[in-house]
């Protein structure tokens, strides 16, 4: 179906809508659970409902926009869809699948997919390869899913890439590890930590930083992630020093001091952490009066959450620059932003981080997935769902700078143009200088390789 927000216009300097999100990492470990749902969920809890609004009070788009039959619950044979997310101390991506589930619940309450409800099976894992592999097989052989929409995990793509290919499932997710971007059966709505860190480094270099101190969580894949920012800095002739930290962070003061010393007064500190961990470092820098000892502070996408902007306070206005893979939502009155806000409030009780990049990713995954499912005529099978995803071409989500194309490529980096945002009194807004939609540098060889086979997607219009 054609939703009203697909025709939203943008300019190269500033896209007409903006998005920010974040998930509170550092939650306690939980065992995986199969929590399939087809019914519309209860209204959001007060904490979720009171999260920073992404739309004006005069909202004109309601949750009835989710489907083709407003107010009519889908009652046909369910379409089983799965997702696997990391949820462990220091790293929690579950807001992605939770927001996707909220979107699907909204679709189900408004006609479903040609009358069929989506039955969603969200799973969580703790970076255990055997656990992850078992969950994938459980979803296919026991839960009989015909598609995977909402995956976001530190290592799931690497663990399951061969399995998804063997059973013919195309995954639509928010990637982390290399296989999320370098294999034929997975495509992401986000850039992941490597390309998002590319964007953060690219931004501070454009503003004149002459040295980079790049720090990230000490989790699997750090060398792969760091390779991108290093290539971008090297292309500009700027030195970069890499660091890793165990999470949860216990020595924020020492880390902040180390990074400021490494960057120097004309350099930049670039962080790649989930919001609570990045916040510890930034607050330590402020406590030690180090925030002005470097020229710039920057961060990859997870920092793009009102939780972090509010916690930092106004002293960081215009001082921290965050790569935003999706449209900034604060102050945004577009139809997309209004629908996001409405779904979050009515169905997003499980979205603990509220408005932020992770919830935006879940929304966007579910939107694209719904669009693909609606194109299917005939039975909903693994083959038909995968073919529908591969058929998504130049789709305007209202959330991404570029039209989204899945395609039948050997690798997938469909989101490679984005924004830079900065705190503004508890919100994140587009940076006034160079913050508009900007292509990620092809100095990263992975970006160059993808564009060689898929081209450069046009800006969404």
pLDDT at 11: 29
Is the pLDDT at 73 greater than 70, yes or no? yes
Pairing of strands 268-272, 296-299: parallel
**Closest of 260, 203, 201 to residue 229, by C-alpha:** 201
The pLDDT tens digits for 108-155 are 999 999 999 999 999 999 999 999 999 999 999 999 999 999 999 999
Is the pLDDT at 17 greater than 70, yes or no? no
The pLDDT tens digits for 242-294 are 999 999 999 999 999 999 999 999 999 999 998 999 999 999 999 999 999 99
Pairwise CA distance, residues 419 & 268, whole Å: 18
Give me the mean pLDDT over the 326-339 stretch.
Answer: 90
- Stated as kind and residue range, the H or E segment containing 312 is helix 306-312
Is the pLDDT at 330 greater than 60, yes or no? yes
> 10 Å Cβ neighbour count for 121?
25
Three-state DSSP at 335 gives: helix
* Radius of gyration over every alpha carbon of the chain, rounded to an integer in angstroms: 20
Task: Report whether 145 contacts 362 (CB < 8 A).
Answer: no
- Rounded to the nearest angstrom, the gap between the alpha carbon of residue 288 and the centroid of all alpha carbons in its chain is 32
Share of the chain above pLDDT 90, in %: 79
Pairwise CA distance, residues 370 & 103, whole Å: 9
Give me the mean pLDDT over the 382-389 stretch.
Answer: 98
Give me the mean pLDDT over the 64-81 stretch.
Answer: 95
Pairwise CA distance, residues 26 & 336, whole Å: 30
**Closest of 457, 453, 443, 451 to residue 198, by C-alpha:** 443
Peptide bond into 248 cis (omega under 30): yes
Pairwise CA distance, residues 350 & 273, whole Å: 22
**Closest of 51, 50, 2 to residue 22, by C-alpha:** 51
Pairwise CA distance, residues 327 & 34, whole Å: 32
- Stated as kind and residue range, the H or E segment containing 373 is helix 357-374
* Predicted structure pTM score: 0.84
pLDDT at 59: 53
Residue 37 pLDDT level (bands cut at 50, 70, 90): low
């Amino acid at each position: 179906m054609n939703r009203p927000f697909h025709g939203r216009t943008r300019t190269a300097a500033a896209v007409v809508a903006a998005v920010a999100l974040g998930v509170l990492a550092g939650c306690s470990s939980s065992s995986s659970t199969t929590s399939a749902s087809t019914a519309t969920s209860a209204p959001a809890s007060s904490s979720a409902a009171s999260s920073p609004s992404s739309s004006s009070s005069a909202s004109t788009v309601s949750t009835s926009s989710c489907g083709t039959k407003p107010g009519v619950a889908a009652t046909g044979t369910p379409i089983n869809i799965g997702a696997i997310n990391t949820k462990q101390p220091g790293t929690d991506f579950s807001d992605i699948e939770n927001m996707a589930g909220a979107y699907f619940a909204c679709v189900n309450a408004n006609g479903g997919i040609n009358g069929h409800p989506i039955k969603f099976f969200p799973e969580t894992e703790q970076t255990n390869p055997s656990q992850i592999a078992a969950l994938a097989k459980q979803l296919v052989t026991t839960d009989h899913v015909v598609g995977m929409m909402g995956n976001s995990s530190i290592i799931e793509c690497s663990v399951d890439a061969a399995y998804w290919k063997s059973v013919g499932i195309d995954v639509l997710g928010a990637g982390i590890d290399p296989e999320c971007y370098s294999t034929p059966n997975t495509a992401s709505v986000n850039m992941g930590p490597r390309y998002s860190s590319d964007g953060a480094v690219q931004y501070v270099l454009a503003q004149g930083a002459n040295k980079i101190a790049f720090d990230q969580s000490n989790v699997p894949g750090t060398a792969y992630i760091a390779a991108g920012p290093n290539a971008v800095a090297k292309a500009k002739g700027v030195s970069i020093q890499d660091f890793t930290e165990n999470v949860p962070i216990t020595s924020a003061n020492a880390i902040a001091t180390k990074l400021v010393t490494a960057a120097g007064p004309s350099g930049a500190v670039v962080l790649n952490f989930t919001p609570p961990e990045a916040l510890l470092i930034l607050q330590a820098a402020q406590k030690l009066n180090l925030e002005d000892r470097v020229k710039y502070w920057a961060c990859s996408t997870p920092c793009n959450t009102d939780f972090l902007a509010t916690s930092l306070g106004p002293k960081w206005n215009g001082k921290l620059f965050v790569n935003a893979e999706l449209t900034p939502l604060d102050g945004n009155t577009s139809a997309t932003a209004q629908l996001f806000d409405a779904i979050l409030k009515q169905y997003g009780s499980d979205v603990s981080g509220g408005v932020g990049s992770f919830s935006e990713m879940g929304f966007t995954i579910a939107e694209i997935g719904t669009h693909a499912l609606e194109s299917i005529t005939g039975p909903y099978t693994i083959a038909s769902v995968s073919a529908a995803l591969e058929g998504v071409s130049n789709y305007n989500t209202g959330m991404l700078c570029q039209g989204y194309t899945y395609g039948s490529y050997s690798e997938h980096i469909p989101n490679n143009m984005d924004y830079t945002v900065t705190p503004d009194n508890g919100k994140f807004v587009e940076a006034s200088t160079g913050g508009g939609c900007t292509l990620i540098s092809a100095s990263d060889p992975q970006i160059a390789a993808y564009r060689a086979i898929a081209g450069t997607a046009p800006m969404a219009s």
